[in-house]
Copies of this chain bind each other. A is one copy, B any other.
Amino acid sequence: MVLEIAQIDVKPGMEDAFHAGVRKAVPLFRRAKGCTGMSLQRSAEKPQRFRLFVQWDTLENHTVDFRESADFQEWRKLVGDTFATPPAVEHVSEVLKGF
């Protein structure tokens, strides 16, 4: 299991539009191969900064299957205009569960 963390800084004033776009995009992720969950997080320190957390079975489910799909274009259509800068995307795996 891999967690995609996409850090997205949104243009000032576009926060609600971005949030609404992510909401509309939920079905795209729900039907994406190997995608097992998603949530949107908002920064306390920088309210224009969001982090999209997307859970994938494998790294390639995101980097190949999703990114090369028509739904990826659809996703970008829904939210791309609200991005202040290109998203910073990284993938992590849990190596220790404390509690």
Contacts and interface: CB of A to CB of B under 8 A. Distances in A.
A51 B7 CA distance: 14
B91 A39 contact: no
Contacts of A43: 90-92
- Tell me how many chains of this kind the complex includes: 2
Interface stretch (A19-27, A65-73, A76-84): A19-27
Interface residues of A, number: 33
A93 B42 contact: yes
Nearest to A22: B96
A39 B93 contact: no
Interface of A: 2-3, 5, 19, 22-23, 26, 29-30, 37-46, 49-51, 59, 90-99
